[in-house]
Chains A and B, each alone.
Chain A
């Protein structure tokens, strides 16, 4: 029996989807700015961040209200709990995208880099992961969600390679340290966005199957082929 307050849950889910779309868009704008050398896209990306922050507040308020007034259980409770966590993840994605946009703006204002190394490929993979993770939440596809940790490994590997290459260049060309540091941080931000996408996928699995796979052996096994190693110090 559909109750009169179930429309509030649908509105909550819609807000989450909207926030997901906004997060994908801000990452796309920020990375496109870097790849195509278009500084105006940096500004466009930065303007999106406030809206993402407001959506996080709305999700938290709506979630808290629903828990307090409607006493949800089972799937409804998991949706609200996961939704609030997903909102935090997506807000962090927005912040990381802002970091990319700001550093890109700096880069393009100074001397544009000769090479972006593996950053374009990282951006492509990360945006795909984000899109798929949000899709898992919307489409109730927990099976697709299980595959995301493997793809995160690929992003991690690309970040480590970026770090290795850029560290070597820094050693040879100390006069361009600022430019190469920007690229290292941008690579790191993309790696963090991919981590957030993986978190969203784990949350989708918990939502639709009730399984909490955080720190689960199968997730660790999927990650163990290429451990998340800290890059060596400069």
Chain B
């Protein structure tokens, strides 16, 4: 789709400003309408979540005894109505957004940290170490991980930090495979050889050369990991195993809303719309980034 210019003649070379891979990718991303709209929507959602206390006069845990489970009411500034305990649903949805996004980012970071290191080390060292490390990944891959996360939460108690760690520890496997693949494809290139010839240590080669050069696919996959993580967190919270009172997240709100939907459908609909929109946005951005960073795939 991109109209690449005809290769310039030798004389014209100096006049053309160089475009880096990233500028190229950014230009392609900007042309992807779904991705741009998604980015904007996500920014709005994140901003709403960040500014939550300023946007509503109600604290997130205040109980209004006169308005229990009441529909949206603009006079009292209950824009999304109130929940079954008489708390303002607008503020609670935004606070839930904070937690869900936070879990998404934090757990994805955990998975990045483990997955990138593991994959780069396995791929770069190669040989027997590589095959043992990747065999382990294969074994773990076949495990029903969500059940282990639940097991973990049952045994060690329901705590938000544990959720970050547990989900992050689940999601690193694919990341490790991707980074290993990238590493294998670049480790025999000349600049790595040059670094090795120059006496750079293995750890430093991995840190300075291997990881930075496999960042493209990592970014794409990280963007697609965030919605998965948000989904897992919502799933756990929906079952009552995730975020605990008085804090809330989309999963908790949807579960509370589902219980009341016959009399108070707004309790289900508002959080569900937030969750769905966010998931869509991340998926569109991930697809857009993939197209932008890897144009040959189209």
> A and B bound?
no
Residues of chain B whose beta carbon lies under 8 Å from any beta carbon of chain A? none
Measured CB to CB, the residues of A under 8 A from B are none
